[in-house]
């Protein structure tokens, strides 16, 4: 059975009776077992439960489709440590809202994906479970913090996975693993039942094999979005090319970005340069907001079990505990100024466009430079929807194109991304790489 199928294709096969839920879930579990020694994408597998659910699929829009969830999203009765040994005994009583909506739609959760500890990092090198490896190169990291979800989708284990995104943690692994990653408008998908990193900035997002798959998942996760998603966008697309972003990308990524812009122009898009000076401050603002919020969220556990936190995360939390609360409040005010500046820049454009990351995936074990966040974190601060779409390869490794829409205009973002995806024609399968 071909593993590299989209969610939409699999639903068609299931609906037509060409495939049973048991066959599909069994194939996913076999792929998981085969790739786990190489990729280390999962920290828990729900084999018995998944097969039992597949044997009695319901009639929802995702009935019988295997999906993975990141280790920081709650599942009732299942340990949910968010990649952190200090929380190994944490067993939530109920599903996260996003997980509950997947189950109600008939999805079969096959397992929990490996991640950067507490979602605080961009390489998915977990000190307790080991690093996730990139399907496009086992000597490369997959990005983070939702690296296990990105690797699982890229390797064809599952057609879709849930992730979370506080500064780019869905879009970065999507870009580096050659899949689609969507961070919806802040609040559109509830964060209830997510182990927090930063309540102000956390988003639940999806990693999929196609834009259509991301739209299908969003319709389930955010029912209010279902009707707009069914209506195509209208008019000629006006794109704002963020000044300075392309210049910050290394040469090959910049060349891929320029080629993608030519494809957009071929689709009839009108491009114009857009300047948002405060974007240069986004990384600083992100740190001043998320570190004290993370410290507050995990202070009790840090005091009780400090040795059970990895050194990297422990240092972040300790720094957050020392932070002056006034610094966070000032950063929140500056965040509003940034959002206003972005909104003003978008008065004459429909979407903003940039590379997703300035570099492809780095070597396994190397620290992830903060520059990976440069293009993604501004849209966690503004809360607007943003999507990473594969745009090409650099030295055999995928890189992504980021599109960002106005808050609440997730449907327009997805429709335009789908049109571009078709023209770019990216081959999502990391074939021949032993995955």
Catalytic residue numbers? 70, 145, 169
The answer to whether 164 and 133 have CB atoms below 8 angstroms apart is no
Q: Is the link from the previous residue into 248 a cis peptide, with omega within 30 of 0?
A: no
The answer to whether 181 and 206 have CB atoms below 8 angstroms apart is yes
| Structure tokens given for 369 | 């430079």
CA distance 199 to 217: 23
The answer to whether 132 and 151 have CB atoms below 8 angstroms apart is yes
The HSE-up count of residue 434 (CA atoms within 13 Å, CB side) is 8
CA neighbor of 155 nearest in space, from 434, 356, 361: 434
| Structure tokens given for 205 | 């997002």
CA neighbor of 286 nearest in space, from 386, 387, 353, 375: 375
Tell me if residue 242 falls in helix, strand or coil. strand
- Backbone torsions φ then ψ of 428, nearest 5 degrees: -75, -15
CA neighbor of 155 nearest in space, from 179, 171, 175: 179
The answer to whether 404 and 352 have CB atoms below 8 angstroms apart is yes
- Backbone torsions φ then ψ of 252, nearest 5 degrees: -65, -35
Handedness of CA 271, 265, 180, 38 (dihedral sign): negative
Q: 143: left (phi > 0), else alpha (psi -120 to 50), else beta?
A: left
Q: Residue 131: which residues within 8 A CB-CB, separation 6 or more?
A: 40, 123, 124, 125, 141, 364, 365
| Structure tokens given for 156 | 């064809």
């Amino acid at each position: 059975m071909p593993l590299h199928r989209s969610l939409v294709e699999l639903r068609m096969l299931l609906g037509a009776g060409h495939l049973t839920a048991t066959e599909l879930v069994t194939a996913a579990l076999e792929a998981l077992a085969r790739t786990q020694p190489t990729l280390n994408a999962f920290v828990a597998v729900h084999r018995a439960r998944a097969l039992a659910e597949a044997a009695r699929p319901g009639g929802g829009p995702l009935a019988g489709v295997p999906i993975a969830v990141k280790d920081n999203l709650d599942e009732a009765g299942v340990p949910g440590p968010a990649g952190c040994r200090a929380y190994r005994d944490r067993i939530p009583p109920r599903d996260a809202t996003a997980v509950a909506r997947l189950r109600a739609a008939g999805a079969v959760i096959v397992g929990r994906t490996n991640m950067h500890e507490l979602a605080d990092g961009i390489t998915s090198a977990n000190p307790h479970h080991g690093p996730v490896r990139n399907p496009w190169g086992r000597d490369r990291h997959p990005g983070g913090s939702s690296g296990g979800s990105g690797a699982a989708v890229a390797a064809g284990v599952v057609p879709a996975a849930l992730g979370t995104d506080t500064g780019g943690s869905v879009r970065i692994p999507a870009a580096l693993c050659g899949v689609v990653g969507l961070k919806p408008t802040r609040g559109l998908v509830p964060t209830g039942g997510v182990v927090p990193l930063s309540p102000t900035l956390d988003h639940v997002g999806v990693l999929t094999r196609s834009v259509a798959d991301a739209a299908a998942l969003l319709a389930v996760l955010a029912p209010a979005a279902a009707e707009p998603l069914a209506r195509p966008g209208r008019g000629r697309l006006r794109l704002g090319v963020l000044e300075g972003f392309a210049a910050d990308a290394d040469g090959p990524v910049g060349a891929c970005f320029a080629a993608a812009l030519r494809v957009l122009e071929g689709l009839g898009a009108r491009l114009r340069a857009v300047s948002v000076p405060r974007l240069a401050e986004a990384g600083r603002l992100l740190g001043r907001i998320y570190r004290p919020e993370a410290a507050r969220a995990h202070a009790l556990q840090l005091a009780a079990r400090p040795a059970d936190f990895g050194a990297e995360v422990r240092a972040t939390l300790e720094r957050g505990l020392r932070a002056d609360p006034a610094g966070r409040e000032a950063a929140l005010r500056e965040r509003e100024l940034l959002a206003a500046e972005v909104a003003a820049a978008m008065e004459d454009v429909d979407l903003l466009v940039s590379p997703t990351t300035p570099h492809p995936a780095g070597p396994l074990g190397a620290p992830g430079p903060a520059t990976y966040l440069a293009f993604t974190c501004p849209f966690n601060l503004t809360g607007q929807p943003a999507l990473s779409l594969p745009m090409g390869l650099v030295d055999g490794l995928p890189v992504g194109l980021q599109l960002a829409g106005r808050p609440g205009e997730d449907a327009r973002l997805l429709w335009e991304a789908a049109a571009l995806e078709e023209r770019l024609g990216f081959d999502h399968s990391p074939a021949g790489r032993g995955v």
